Amino acid sequence: MDYLTILQILDSALRLATPLLLTCLAGLFSERAGVVDIGLEGKLLAAAFLAGAAAAVTGSIWIGLLAGVLGSLAFSMLHGLASITFQGDQLISGVALNFLAAGLTVVIGQSWFKLGGRTPSLSGDGRFSEWNLPFSDAMAKIPVVGPAYDELISGHTALTYLAFLAVPLSWWVLYRSRFGLRLRAVGENPGAVDTAGISVVRLRYSALVIAGVLCGLAGTYLASLAAGFVKDMSAGRGYIALAALIFAKWRPWYALWATLLFGLLEAIGNRYQSIALGDFVIPVQFMQALPYILTVIILAGFVGKAIPPRASGQSYVKER
């Protein structure tokens, strides 16, 4: 394996980790506020469909981005209505959203485009263009450092850079701002927050709004990356993001490394469809299943050690 191949694998890992990172941060905000968000998968799927459909019709990925974010926000508000306003079970509400998104995207897609639930292929302005950073061409000639800058750091879309910038921004919001302090307090002890005269409902809805926006960005990225929407294209990424969130112990910087690990495994699985170890050949199905196998291992090995916010999954009833 030469240096250029390693860079190409890492570059692919960054691209594949982008939607996972955005979705993981979405779950981070909602769960830090005490709202378990199993519906990340549904938001991701709904955003990808609406972004792909809007971009196909208008020819603009930016309009697609707006549609994807609005669709994800609508699902977030449905989740909030069921689990916060009506104090329903948060797990059941999230699972219901996942089923709703899986069915609606195919039915509406078939009704609109007659392509078996797919959207028309995206091209040109219907997809995000890659950003070449300054001096990338000139630095490519410099040994070691140049190819890393040109192949690995430069040449990504705006949402990839935004996703990685969202990590320090999320850390600052959660740990250095008054809003973040109150948000974390709601996830730990909503009664104390309510006693201080701060609305628990408003804070939890605010967290769901942030989660909806981030999932909308992730879904739009998926639609642009795949040049359109196809049935179940999220492929369990919402659940993988939840596993990464548990692995990261609900912390932004740990979430970055956890999602990069998942992205790297997926990139390796895509690059090496079969690996020969002497006379034994690792089947392609095993390589493709690597991220999901890791998900099971992490949930089995770390779920007992990772301590979630104390009020996570609990509805809050205001005392009168």
Residue 8 lies in a domain: yes
Tell me if 187 sits within 8 A of 311, measured CB to CB: yes
Of 60-64, 141-145, 281-285, the range with the highest mean pLDDT is 60-64
pLDDT in tens, 210-239: 999 999 999 999 999 999 999 989 988 999
Residue 81 phi, psi (nearest 5): -60, -45
Q: Give the count of domains, the chain.
A: 1
- Report if residue 71 sits inside a domain: yes
In a domain, 255, yes or no: yes
Angle, alpha carbons 102-106-111 (nearest 5°):
150
The CATH number covering residue 267 comes to: 1.10.3470
Q: Give the range of the structural domain holding residue 160, as residue numbers without chain letter.
A: 3-299
Q: Looking at the domain assignment, is residue 319 inside a domain?
A: no
Contact 204, 76 (CB under 8 A): no
Residue, of 184 and 265, whose pLDDT is higher: 184
pLDDT band at residue 115 using 50, 70 and 90 as cut-offs: confident
Within a domain: 304: no
**pLDDT of res. 25:** 96
Rounded to whole angstroms, the Cα distance separating 95 from 9 reads 34
Asked if the structure places residue 313 within a domain, the reply is no
Residue 124 lies in a domain: yes
51-105 per-position pLDDT tens digit: 999 999 999 999 999 999 999 999 999 999 999 999 889 999 999 999 999 999 9
Asked if pLDDT for residue 320 goes beyond 70, the answer is no
**Residue 316 forms part of a structural domain:** no
* Confidence check: pLDDT of 208 > 70: yes
- Per-chain mean pLDDT for the chain: 89
The single residue listed with the structure tokens 């294209």 is 233
CB 170 within 8 A of CB 46: no
- Beta-carbon contacts of residue 141 (< 8 Å; ≥ 6 apart): none
Which 8-state DSSP code applies to residue 124? Answer: G
Lowest-pLDDT range of 18-32, 57-71, 234-248 = 234-248
What pTM, to 2 d.p., does this model score?
Answer: 0.92
